[in-house]
Structure 1
Amino acid sequence: MHLPLDIDSVKGFLDPAEGRALHDAALAAAVRGPVLEIGAYCGKSAVYLGTACRTAGSVLYSVDHHRGSEENQPGWEYHDAELWDHAAGAMDTLPFLRATLRRAGLEETVIPIVGRSAAVARFWTTPLAMLFIDGGHTLEAALEDYRAWAPHVIRGGTLAIHDVFPDPADGGRPPFEVYTRALASDLFEEVLGVKSLRILKRL
């Protein structure tokens, strides 16, 4: 795997081992159709996924409202003041995503979709070869992402979920709840786990 820029220069919380696993999963899946991620932030995962999609001749749809998740807001643990838009009185990560895609040469491969996941999914009709869920971490947001988007994953396609922590002491529970529900649905089986990333196959 050769990334088109220094990935450490991109803000984000994706571990390099998780990123490599995402890239490899997308490279295998993208030959069958497009890939979609929920939760772009500043574009770290988009570089891993987008690089794979470009190699496979596919595209990545990157869905995010770009106002930050709950933990990114002022006063919370993962707030980054550099991402605060004073004029809007809100977080704005979209300019950082666009800069990342430009620096990586991925503007023709990664298609940003600015909006809330559920609103975008409401009229979505395109089958997905791979879905990566890394959006809001409240239970409501995480379940909403899974329920809205998982039905679009084709048979044999890939579902990846980030921040899955079986031990509550390691992190929030909602992504783990989504992961366990996906397995309990009998529609997905786990094929790989790398740190907090889980990769499942649609049966």
Structure 2
Amino acid sequence: MTDMSFPADLRHAAERAKGFMPGNEGLALFQTACVYGPLGPICEIGTYCGKSAIYLGAAARETGTVLFTVDHHRGSEEIQPGWAHHDPSLMDPRFGKMDSLPFFRTAIASAGLEDQVIAIVGSSETVARYWHTPLAMLFIDGGHSEDPVTKDYEGWAHHVIPGGALVFHDVYPDPKTGGQAPYRVFQRALATGQYKETRTEGSLRVLERIATP
């Protein structure tokens, strides 16, 4: 049976990496990926600097699979200059744009997960048009406004195999606690009748795709 405890050698790497994944939610993400990883590859939409990829990559290592993580690395809307979550250290002055890719590479190399974590650099919408690999688990954590969350769901969710998992981050039922787009798309997925909710941890929501007889 797969060990569901987060490896001690990766805890420090996860804590050091830039990102917005609380420890309890990261642990839940790791444990969820350990459950579904034996069924096939894992895919993450929204890499940023690699914090969540460390949790998912650790599970990929435990279960003998891989993590594909998709991001253009120019930053989602909410981390651009002038927004609350902007980090000026991620600005590339040569182009006047965000660039989280070097930080991601450092985080994954420091964690020793380069064999398990495969970066796909490009927009989620573009990559999705050419994607054909069935997924055991899909983690949606890219842009958090209506358009990108909807496109991530519509472009990728149909690749989740029956019995696999569709996972959303930053789901806030109460608008006073966070943005509503991930919550609305999460509700949309539930309403299809193709998924059942299996776990909640903070703003993390895990849906399992129902296996048809």
Cα 1:94–1:59, aligned 2, differ >3 Å: closer, same or farther? same
1:85 maps onto 2:92 in alignment: yes
1:160 maps onto 2:182 in alignment: no
Report SS of the residue matched to 1:168. Answer: coil
Q: What pairs with 1:40-189 in structure 2 (closer than 5 Å)?
A: 40-189=47-196
- The separation in 1 between residues aligned to 2:44 and 2:80, in whole angstroms, is 21
- Number of equivalenced pairs: 203
Partner AA of 1:122 in structure 2: R
- The separation in 1 between residues aligned to 2:99 and 2:9, in whole angstroms, is 24
Identity percentage over the alignment? 53
Partner AA of 1:126 in structure 2: T
The answer for the alignment partner of 2:9 in structure 1 is 4
Deviation at 1:152, TM superposition (A): 0.1
Cα 1:18–1:56, aligned 2, differ >3 Å: closer, same or farther? same
Report SS of the residue matched to 2:89. Answer: helix
Deviation at 1:4, TM superposition (A): 3.3
- The separation in 2 between residues aligned to 1:173 and 1:66, in whole angstroms, is 23
Report SS of the residue matched to 2:197. Answer: strand
User: Deviations along 1:55-106, whole A, 9 cap, x unmatched?
Assistant: 1110000000101111100010000000111101100000000000100000
TM-score (norm 1): 0.98
- The separation in 2 between residues aligned to 1:8 and 1:81, in whole angstroms, is 20
- The separation in 2 between residues aligned to 1:125 and 1:3, in whole angstroms, is 35
Deviation at 1:3, TM superposition (A): 4.6
Gaps of 5+ in 1: none
Gaps of 5+ in 2: 1-5
- The separation in 1 between residues aligned to 2:91 and 2:50, in whole angstroms, is 16
Partner AA of 1:163 in structure 2: D
The answer for the alignment partner of 1:25 in structure 2 is 32
Partner AA of 1:113 in structure 2: I
